[in-house]
Structure 1
Amino acid sequence: MKSTTRGTLAAVVTGVAAAVGAAATPAAAVGTVPVPVPLEGVSRSLHMEVPEAGLEVPLLSPGAPEGPRFVTGRLLPDRTLPQVPLNGALPGAHLRAPLPHVLGDGFDHVGFDAPASDLHALAPGLAVDAPLTRPRGDNFGLPDLKLPQAGVIAPVLRTVPAADLVMGPGL
């Protein structure tokens, strides 16, 4: 292989690796997308102070479900329909509004900050068992009848939301 071919191949491989790394990093690092609410035009057209607002929209990412497990004594595996984990964030909000002084000129502000908080959830699952037992040797290899079993695995939701309400001088 010529040295120019090797150099070209090395440059292509390096470029592809850099592109894949750059594309994967922001998606993995960001759990929410900030969405500013543009109110500057309203402020300019009305010649007055208006609230500032910003939102955070979550990005949900599904995880890999835990597969069915074999349980001794059952014909069908446990967790026939497994629970799917979802990771993301609760939506966040950042609001700040001016509070004019009743007497005199000037403004104070009131602010509400509810940052996006981590959210871990599991979708509901299903556990069922057939109305037959496993084949038995003392019954010539035939299964016995039993009552069918069905159960819903409850969904799980874990998060710790937080919020701050602030009042202070100035804008």
Structure 2
Amino acid sequence: MKPTTRGILATVVTGVAATVGATAPAVAAGTVPVPVPLGGASTALGTEVPRLGAELPLPKPGAPDGPRYVTGRLLPDRTLPRLPVTSGLPGLAARAPLPHLLDEGFDHVDVDSPTGDLRALTPGLSLDAPLTTPGGGGAGLPGAKVPQAAVLPPVLRTAADGEAGMGPGL
């Protein structure tokens, strides 16, 4: 292998390792921080600017409940099972300066909404065939019946939390 090929390969491997290493803490924490850099605008404008930051949750799918076999039905109950997903609500942290109108100085307005738990179940489907199970009478042949179909609705559970306030100083 040529030295240039080795150098390119080492660079690619190093880049991949750095990317994986940078995302590993966010995946372990369950959220990805999203800072909004406004420091340059503060310096350029010569005034105070808001400070913003957010957290985006990472959804984690769970294991679905498999189909259940029920006596008297040809098809299992929950033919298409619901998939549980856990995640969180996005978080927000904002702090904006509030200038005094009659004198110099600033107060602040603060909004803080931390990430909250979010649990969901995707929609599912339950079907039953238009035939009964084979019985002892009628030469062991299944009988006819009305087909059944049911859509299992999605479920969403969460609790949002947040605070808003004002205070002196920055």
Fold shared by both chains (TM-score > 0.5):
yes
Cα distance in structure 1, aligned partners of 2:106 and 2:84: 47
Alignment: residue pair count: 149
Once the two structures are superposed, residues 108-163 of structure 1 have per-residue CA deviations (whole angstroms, 9 ceiling, x without a partner) of: 00011111101110000000000001011112110000010001000000100111
User: RMSD over aligned Cα, in angstroms?
Assistant: 1.6
| 1:70 alignment counterpart | 69
Alpha-carbon shift at residue 28 of structure 1 (Å): 6.1
Residue identity matched to 1:62: P
Distance (whole Å) between structure 1 residues aligned to residue 50 and residue 26 of structure 2: 31
With normalisation by structure 1, the TM-score equals: 0.83
Partner Cα distance (1:27, 1:168) in 2: 32
The Cα of 1:74 is off from its aligned counterpart by: 0.9
Q: 1:5-84 alignment to 2 at 5 Å?
A: 26=25, 29-84=28-83
> Which amino acid counterpart does residue 89 of structure 1 have in structure 2?
G
1:9-63 per-position Cα deviation (integer Å, ceiling 9, x unaligned): xxxxxxxxxxxxx9xx846641211110000011010000000000111100110
Structure 1 residue runs without a partner (length 5+)? 1-21
2:155 alignment counterpart: 156
Residues in 2 aligned to 1:157 and 1:78: alpha-carbon distance in whole angstroms:
22
Structure 2: 5+ residue runs without aligned partners? Answer: 1-20
Gap change, CA 1:33 and 1:27, over 3 Å in 2: closer
Please give the alpha-carbon distance, in whole angstroms, between the structure 2 residues aligned to 1:71 and 1:91: 41
Normalised by the size of structure 2, how large is the TM-score? 0.84
Moved over 6 A (4+): none
- Provide the secondary structure at the position in 2 that maps to 1:137: coil
Distance in 2 (CA, whole Å) between partners of 1:27 and 1:72 is 47
Aligned amino acid, residue 168 of structure 2: P
2:88 aligned with 1:89: yes
